[in-house]
Structure 1
Amino acid sequence: MNFLRVPCVLLLTGVLGLAGCSVHQPTSLYQLDSGDPGQPKHSGGLAVLLGPVTIADYLQRETLLQRQPDGSLKASTDGRWAGSLSADIDQLLLRQLAWKLDSQRVVMAPAAASFTPDAQVVLSITRLDSGEKQPAVLDAQWRLLDRRGNVRDSKLIHLEEPHAGSSAAQVRAQGILLQRLADKLSVAVKPIANQPWVADVPKKATAPAKTRTDQDKPKIPMASPIRTDLEVFRF
């Protein structure tokens, strides 16, 4: 009986080893492709405040989601995001926008109290996903504010990008969509940020109300007597 126990133990160990290998398969980690943005040269370029930037709740997770033909989403079994997707989006847009505006004065919100932006970009990303047979899709809305905080532009954006189907190709396509979004933002920001500053024109002081005096009162003519048979007073 002792001779039979050894093969059984070895067999059980092998089965557990194979099970462990199947459970702990290596997972690929992905980051958004920020392209190849150049370094902005002008330290005194346009001052732009980027943010707040909000993303949809379903994107705030490590799992790489796959859009299905019926519109549903499934978690990828072999890939996830390497860190925070929200932080990756912020940095990609920041670098792209600074490069396209050629300005080192593009900062993420919240900024220091001493920073006075020429324009502010408030962005909401409601969709950013793809699937093996579904194109990468980006849905977003931006609002552009001028120096006084007034909304000067608001726009809804829908962008699509085809890909080869693999997880790596899908992530690359999503990065391209964000690069295209940054390009559109830079075009929209320039005319608002370049507007000359118009100082508040002081209102013309209102002259104080004039106090009426006795000299300003209407004069009532004095009655003068007319000599007739009857004494009549004419006014």
Structure 2
Amino acid sequence: MTVLRLPVVLLLSGLLGLVGCTAHKPVPLYQLDAGSPGVPKQAQGLAVLLGPVLIADYLQREAFLQRQTDGSLVPADDARWAGSLAADIDQVLLRQLAARLDSQRLVLAPAHSGFTPDVQVLLNVSRLDSGPDHPAVLEAQWRLLDRSGQLRDSRLVRLQEPHDGSAADQVQAQSRLLRQLVQLLGDAIEPLRNQPIAEASKPTPPPVRPSKPKNQEIPRLSPPRNGGEVLRF
């Protein structure tokens, strides 16, 4: 009996091993595609401070969220982000914008104390997602500050990109949306390239106080020498 049961035990073990391998199938990891922006040639180009870049709370995770027909978001079972999506967005924006402006002088906030930007970009990404039956959608707002810290431009954008429904093509669609955002942002920054440099204000000299008059001696009246009479009234 033991000999007859041995093939059955081996068959069951093989089936369980196959099920175990299927259950532990590795999940593909994805990153946003920065494209091929190239390296900027101008080492002394426009100085831009990128950030703070605020990313929506629901994007602060490794789950690859899928937009459903009812508007809800469900983590995908067959895909995940490779690391922090927020950090990935920062790097794509930085590389793309540096190439768009042809400048090596782009810094992510916070910048060191010695960096003085010509333009500061305040960016808020409130939405970046897609779904099997939903296009990729990007919603964001930017504000541009000039050298003196004055608001020069502000804009709300909503961009949309189709895809074929697969996770890989959704990632590519979201990457294209970020590149479109950079193109629009670069167009808004260009008019600030030749902004006049404000002259340093000269310190106002302190008011000149009038000098105190020196003590002058009161002249003494000497009696008349002719011995005249003093008239009293």
Is TM-score (shorter-chain normalized) higher than 0.5?
A: yes
Q: Paired residue for 1:228?
A: none
Map of 1:113 onto structure 2 = 113
The 4+ residue runs of structure 1 with deviation greater than 6 A are: 203-210
Q: State the match for 1:46 in structure 2.
A: 46
Q: Which residue number in structure 2 is paired with residue 80 of structure 1?
A: 80
Q: Which residue of 2 aligns with 1:171?
A: 171
List aligned pairs for 1:6-85, cutoff 5 A.
6-85=6-85
After superposition, the C-alpha distances for 1:17-52 in whole angstroms (9 at most, x for unaligned) are 122122111211111111221221111110000011
CA-to-partner distance for each residue in 1:120-149, whole Å, 9 max, x for gaps?
001111110011111000011111111122
The DSSP-based 3-state class of the residue aligned with 2:114 is coil
Give the superposition deviation at 1:68: 1.1
Match of 1:100 in 2: 100
The one-letter code sitting in structure 1 at the alignment partner of 2:94 is L
Find the counterpart in structure 2 of residue 180 from structure 1: 180
Secondary structure, counterpart of 1:76 in structure 2: strand
Which residue of the partner structure matches residue 138 of structure 1? Answer: 138
Alpha-carbon distance between aligned partners in 2 of 1:109 and 1:193, rounded to the nearest angstrom = 20
Structure 1: distance between partners of 2:149 and 2:15 = 66
CA contact (8 A) 1:146 1:193 kept: no
Alpha-carbon distance between aligned partners in 2 of 1:36 and 1:30, rounded to the nearest angstrom: 17
Amino acid across the alignment from 1:93: L
Distance 1:108 1:5 in 2: 67
What one-letter code is carried by the residue in structure 2 that aligns with 1:96?
Q
Q: Which moved more, 1:12-21 or 1:82-91?
A: 12-21
Name whichever of 12-21 and 194-203 sits farther off. 194-203
The residue correspondences of 1:141-160 to structure 2 (distance < 5 A) are 141-160=141-160
1:152 and 1:200 map into 2 onto residues whose CA distance is 21
TM-score scaled to structure 2, two decimals? 0.83
CA displacement at 1:206 relative to structure 2: 9.1
**Mapped partners of 2:141, 2:204: distance in 1:** 41
Three-state SS of the structure 1 residue aligned to 2:134 is coil
- Structure 2: runs of 5+ lacking an equivalent: 211-233
Displacement after TM superposition at 1:192 (Å): 2.4
Which moves more between the two structures, 163-172 or 201-210? 201-210
Q: Deviations over 1:182-216 (max 9, x none)?
A: 11111111222420112254587797799xxxxxx
Distance in structure 2 (CA, Å) of the matches to 1:7 and 1:204: 100
Give identity over the alignment, percent. Answer: 60
- Write the letter of the residue equivalent to 1:175: S
How many aligned positions are there?
A: 212
Per-residue CA deviations over 1:37-76 (Å, capped at 9, x if unaligned) read: 1221111110000011121111111121111111111111
Match of residue 221 from structure 1: none
TM-score normalised according to structure 1 size: 0.82
RMSD: 2.1
